[in-house]
Amino acid sequence: MIALTLDEIARAAGGVLVTRGVASPDLVIDGAVHTDSRDVRAGDVFVAKPGEFTDGHLFAPTALEQGAALLIVERELDLEVPQIVVDDAVVALGEFAREVVARVRAGGRLRIVGVTGSNGKTTTKNLLRAVLERVGPTIAPRASFNNEVGAPLTMLELTHETEFLVAEMGASGVGEIARLVRLARPDVGIVLKVGLAHAGEFGGIEQTVRAKTEMVTDLLETDVAVLNADDPRVVPMQAETAARVVWFGLGHDADVRAVDIRAHARGTDFVLELRSGERREVHFQVLGEHHVMNALATTAAALELGVGLADIVSALESVTLAERWRMQLLGGRDDITVINDAYNASPDSMSAALKTLAQIKRPGSRTIAVLGEMSELGELSGEEHDRIGLLIVRLGISQLVVVGEGARRLHITAINEGSWDGESAYVESADEAFDLVKDSIGAGDTILVKSSNSAGLRHLGDRLGEWFA
């Protein structure tokens, strides 16, 4: 974090400074900012955020023991450490981040890239970091720090030397992306895709479109909106922004596009083609043809930020994993491959992962899909699980293992398709799935483990990967 006095932080956060007699208002703080007391180190700031299941104020003593120099709290605590008392710790965190962004931006070096979309945000964020850090100091979120808490925490990592901030902006409702954009308005705003992920929380696909559009509505004429030319829900966003639009996609109308795409078990090769006619062969090591679109969005944004095409391609080719638990290749014994893609799941990402599984099948071997629930789909849940069940059969996946009551409809639909006899199995737990899979796998087989985060199958994927290592 940039160096600020206690008084400056209090004014930024909109709170009242209580020094407790242990510091003066002009004490300078330049440590990191945390909402998890376990991460606090000497000189850091701890924000005592009330949570769904517990209260951050309960962990303030631990933060102090670990060296916290300042607490941001919603009530004064009986602890001998400076405290800033605010009405709402999450709102205060955002306002604190807004001030830090404004001060760093005033230095003239900082450029901000915002990324949103129903799928691909984290992968694109990581690709952008790999590209941009080659040309200047870059800050990007850890894990999926993309909400009203995680995004400000990332912004607060800025220093006066930072040249690029990659801000992943997620949402579960209308207005949330707009709120994040107001904290750090992007110079380049990316909308990857609008799909059914979290549609239940949004209240339908129309509300999802409205929410994702917030990424570009406040952009200025001097800014750039990077939009998916292949998504009919994204294309109309060009009418909602004053920014110059740059298109990415697979069609001829895209400014940045991919042709001659060739998927294989260790990634995807494609030819990157610009509207100028410039072309480059890309050997992209991130598994899954669907990640090519994330690479195109990254390329379009990086070009607008002045990064050379050679540097972009080199960086893209250096990335081997989108993120842990996202199309992560494990296993290896007897040529058995485990693909752990169980960090999250939507109908779009589930379809893409299953198609990848079918594409990379080795001749004479089997494909096994171990699937859990796709959560947060609301009233669309039933029909979308049905659609995935039908897709599995039509792709010719050798074995389906469905885990948990929330995904049971996948199993029923696959059986009802009528073309299988015993190729679909239903189990209640990850332990049952592990026993079933480990005892039935043969040399050369490929296993996909995929579910929403709430289903917890990412740990099953790790376990299978270790078993077949």
| Domain of residue 64, CATH code | 3.40.1390.10
Is the domain of 433 the same as that of 452? Answer: yes
Has residue 408 got a pLDDT over 70? yes
pLDDT band at 170 (very low <50, low <70, confident <90, very high): confident
Percent of the chain clearing pLDDT 90 (strictly above): 83
| Residue 299 maps to a domain | yes
- Would residue 90 count as lying in a domain? no
Q: Is 213 exposed, middle or buried (0-12, 13-18, 19+ CB in 10 A)?
A: buried
- What is the average per-residue pLDDT within 452-468? 93
Percentage with pLDDT > 70 across the chain: 97
446: CATH: 3.90.190.20
Residues 147 and 114 in one domain: yes
For residues 412 and 451, membership in a common domain is answered with yes
The pLDDT of residue 420: 57
Q: Are 284 and 317 in contact (CB under 8 A)?
A: yes
Whole-model pTM: value is: 0.90
Query: Does 143 have pLDDT greater than 90?
Result: no
**Which residues, in sequence order, are CB contacts of 232 under 8 Å at separation 6+?**
none
Residues 6+ apart with CB under 8 A from 11: none
**Residue (of 159, 120, 122) closest to 139 by Cα position:** 159
From the annotation, which residues make up the binding site for ATP?
A: 117-123
Residue at 451 is within a domain: yes
Asked if residues 212 and 145 have their Cβ atoms less than 8 Å apart, the reply is no
Are residues 144 and 289 both part of a single domain?
Answer: yes
Query: Of 280, 286, 250, nearest to 268 (Cα)?
Result: 286
Range ranked top by mean pLDDT from 128-132, 200-204, 346-350? 128-132
Query: Which single residue is written with the structure tokens 């180190």?
Result: 41
pLDDT of 378 reads: 84
Q: Are residues 314 and 343 in the same domain?
A: no
Cα–Cα separations (whole angstroms), residue 254 to 179, 230, 247, 277, 421: 30, 9, 5, 12, 45
Task: Pull the structure tokens for residue 15.
Answer: 């709170």
Which residue, 28, 53, 85, sits at the end of a domain?
A: 85
Q: Domain ends where: 318, 340, 358?
A: 318
Average the pLDDT over 340-348 and give the result: 90
Distances (CA, A) of 64 to 31, 44, 60, 87: 13, 9, 6, 21
pLDDT, one tens digit per residue, over 105-141 is: 999 899 999 999 988 999 999 999 999 999 999 999 9
Look up residue 58 and give its two tokens. 């309960």
Res 202: pLDDT: 60
Q: Structural domain of residue 372, as residue ranges? A: 328-467
- Beta bridge partners, 279, equal 273
Is-contact 118 194, C-beta < 8 A? yes
The CATH number that applies at residue 210 is 3.40.1190.10
Question: Is the pLDDT at 239 greater than 60, yes or no?
Answer: yes
pLDDT tens sequence across 208-238: 899 999 999 999 999 999 999 999 999 999 9
Q: Is residue 94 part of a domain?
A: no
Tally of domains within the chain: 3
Is-contact 462 331, C-beta < 8 A?
Answer: no
Mark the binding-site residues, compressed into ranges.
117-123
Categorize the per-residue pLDDT at 466 as very low, low, confident or very high, splitting at 50, 70 and 90.
Answer: very high
Same-domain pairing of 155 and 292: yes
Q: What six digits make up the tokens of 177?
A: 């992306």
Residues 114 and 258 in one domain: yes
Co-location of 332 and 314 in the same domain: no
- Residue 101 inside a domain? The answer is no
Helices (H), 136-175: 150-155
pLDDT at 419 over 60: no
Q: For position 303, what pLDDT does the model report? A: 98
Q: What is the pLDDT of residue 15?
A: 98
Length of the chain: 469
Check: CB of residue 380 under 8 Å from CB of residue 417: no
* C-alpha span between 172 and 437 (Å, rounded): 35
What pLDDT digit, counting tens, does each position of 290-320 carry?
A: 999 999 999 999 999 999 999 999 999 999 8
Rounded to whole angstroms, how far apart are CA atoms 152 and 94?
5
Mean pLDDT estimate for the chain? 93
| Domain boundary, last residue among 318, 346, 373 | 318
**147 within a domain of the structure (yes/no):** yes
CA distance 103 to 181: 16
- The pLDDT score that the predictor gives to residue 200 is 57
Mark whether 365 and 408 lie in a shared domain. Answer: yes
Can you read off the two tokens belonging to residue 5? 């006095």
Residue 77 shares a structural domain with residue 111: no
Is 153 found in the same domain as 301? Answer: yes
Please give the structure tokens belonging to residue 420. Answer: 């299988």
Lookup result for tokens 């941009």? 132
CB atoms closer than 10 angstroms to residue 280 = 16
For residue 456, the model assigns a pLDDT of: 86
Inter-CA distances, 187 with 302, 333, 387, Å: 11, 47, 39
pLDDT in tens, 64-81: 999 999 999 999 999 999
Q: 367: which strand partners?
A: 446
**Tokens 């962990």, residue?**
59
Please indicate whether residue 379 or residue 426 has the higher confidence score (pLDDT). Answer: 426
And the tokens for 23?
Answer: 């510091």
Which residue pairs from 9-12 have beta carbons closer than 8 angstroms and sit at least 24 positions apart in sequence?
Answer: 9/45, 9/70, 9/84, 9/96, 10/84, 12/95, 12/96, 12/98, 12/99, 12/100
State residue 418's pLDDT score. 63
Q: What is the pLDDT of residue 376?
A: 82
Instruction: Identify the CA nearest to 211 among candidates 242, 172, 248.
Output: 172
DSSP string for 265-287: TTEEEEEEEETTS-EEEEEE-SS
415 sits in which H/E element: helix 408-416
Quickly state the pLDDT bin for 51 (edges 50, 70, 90): confident
310 and 348: one domain? no
96 falls within a domain: no
Q: Report if residue 97 sits inside a domain.
A: no
Q: Are 254 and 229 in contact (CB under 8 A)?
A: yes
What is the C-alpha separation between 60 and 39, in angstroms, rounded?
12
